[in-house]
A and B are shown apart, each in its own frame.
Chain A
Amino acid sequence: MAINPDLQGRVYPPAEVYDVAREKIREFARAVKAEHSAHFDVDAAAALGYTDLVAPPSFAIIVAQRADAQLIADPESGIDFSRVVHAEQRFTHHRPIVAGDRLTAELHVDQVRAMGGGAMITTRAEISSESGEKVATTTSSILVRGEGQ
């Protein structure tokens, strides 16, 4: 099934709230081999001026990929997840993510380009706190490989 070119410009509104938990920050930090104490020790994070554990710089991918999942699962998108390769990623932090944050993501499909038998899709997740404060903007480009790509 081909990628639906009409996806471009589509916006998926914030779905469920993502609760940033201490143990998830610790688990994610270990998974990316992070060793900074501000990911693990509340006192160390407090010494740097944070209210709680600080998330690693790429932690927002959890929230962004949950938002992306709405697009991938959308029967109208035509995306075969098994043929998805991550091509580009960017994180812009308006402020650090800390444990206790309650985050939502609004997903924007910024670009859909046909490439060979597949397509390059660029999405942007605007991540905010529940109260509407901007926390992070993430941009992902995924290549959906066509057959033989």
Chain B
Amino acid sequence: MAAQSAAVPVFDALETGLEIGRREIAVTRSDLVKYAGASGDFNPIHWNNDFAVAVELPGVIAHGMFTMGAAVQLVVDWAGDPGRVVDYQTRFTKPVPVADTTGTDEPGAVLEVVGTIGAIDAEARTARVDLAVTNAGQRVLMKAQAVVRLA
């Protein structure tokens, strides 16, 4: 568990276009099995390669909800409180194929997440963080937006 920063973002110091941070998320097949168990989504396209190929996918792909759920952690850590994320949405535009690297230290895919202030609502005291999420240079989420309430 990472140490928490006590600093809550100062609402009046925010401006559109400000980058709140960026991070890389390494993904393995084991992560997908864990996400399946934690979420209850056992669709075999997320853990069985033959099955995924048989239904015309490139191979095992990450749960869209894994990518969505992992990407927002940048926003949670910036906001300093998970409950400040009052709205979060995305479109899933590209699947994230995860190679089988079992038995090695290599990730099966790497997601890159960059968060930028996309809009500010002075009346509601909320900021919209727009997330750019890419895998191998391709955007995998579109319109990934988290609204953060900063009282």
Contacts and interface: CB of A to CB of B under 8 A. Distances in A.
Interface of A: 24, 27-28, 30-41, 44, 48, 50, 54-58, 61-62, 65-66, 81-93, 95-96, 139, 145, 148-149
A67 B107 CA distance: 33
Contacts of B89: 88-91, 139
Given A81-B43, A82-B55, A92-B86, A32 B73 contact: yes
A44 B91 CA distance: 33
Nearest to B145: A90
Interface stretch (B14-22, B61-69, B120-128): B61-69
Nearest to A40: B1
Given A55-B82, A96-B82, A35 B146 contact: no
Interface string B79-115: 0011101111111100100000000000000000000
B135 to A, nearest CB: 15
B138 interface: no
B38 to A, nearest CB: 4
Contacts of A37: 1, 4
A88 B2 CA distance: 30
Interface residues of B, number: 43
Contact of B70 (A33, A82, A83, A90): A33
Given A81-B43, A90-B88, A91-B87, A35 B82 contact: no
A83 B68 contact: no
Nearest to A149: B56
A6 to B, nearest CB: 25
**B35, B38, B64: most-surrounded residue (chain A CB, <10 A):** B38
Given A27-B38, A57-B76, A65-B40, A89 B68 contact: yes
A61 B65 contact: yes
Interface string B40-63: 110111000001000110000001
Given A36-B4, A92-B86, A87 B92 contact: yes
19 contacts: A24-B38, A30-B38, A31-B37, A32-B35, A32-B38, A33-B25, A33-B73, A36-B73, A48-B81, A57-B75, A57-B146, A58-B69, A58-B72, A58-B88, A62-B40, A88-B89, A90-B87, A92-B86, A96-B82
Given A37-B1, A57-B82, A88 B39 contact: no
